[in-house]
Amino acid sequence: MNKAIFLDRDGVINVERGEYTFRPEDFTIEKGVKEALEILKEKGYTTVVITNQAGIAKAIYTKEDVEACHAKMHEQLPGLIDDVFYAPYYPPLSESLGRKPGSLLFERALALYHVDPQQSWMVGDNDRDLVPARKLGMHTIGIGVAEKFPSADACVSSLLEAVTNVIMK
């Protein structure tokens, strides 16, 4: 069985702008993300991004827009992200167990990459990101103030801090 790091996108990988990020020119990688991912890859972790993209269901942007941002992410983080799963749904317009806090996308990734959840982590900037990981037996880290994450294993200010001060300890 493999170990993995599951990552939310906006606010963990790229800068959270307070509005939808769907244009590549607005997609800016957070400080320290490349270094954090390099450490994780060196330590044998599979790296998977799982992100809700409700703007697709709301017709604010398209799947092609999301994929263009992901292409930029892969270009700037070459070989550091193994896969990206996204949920293009938004209740009540469309429903899906893949949308966090649902666990379907996590379950798909666990099966596809033969991942042991007990050796794995989820890092998110919203408690909704952590709910499915906890349900599946993973460790969880919130990025932000502890009050936002009532049952996270740890809270830190960045992905790099999560990797160096929590995951690698």
Would you put residue 111 in left (φ > 0), alpha (ψ -120 to 50) or beta?
Answer: alpha
DSSP code of 163?
I
- Catalytic residue flag (residue 10): yes
- Catalytic residue flag (residue 8): yes
Closest CA to 27 of 46, 13, 14: 14
Catalytic residue, from 8, 125, 127, 129: name it: 8
Side-chain-side CA neighbours of 138 within 13 Å: the count stands at 28
Q: Which residue has the tokens 């460790």?
A: 139
95, 102 contact by CB (below 8 A): no
Instruction: Write phi, then psi, for 96 (nearest 5 degrees).
Output: -165, 140
Catalytic residue, from 10, 125, 127, 129: name it: 10
Mind telling me the catalytic residues?
8, 10
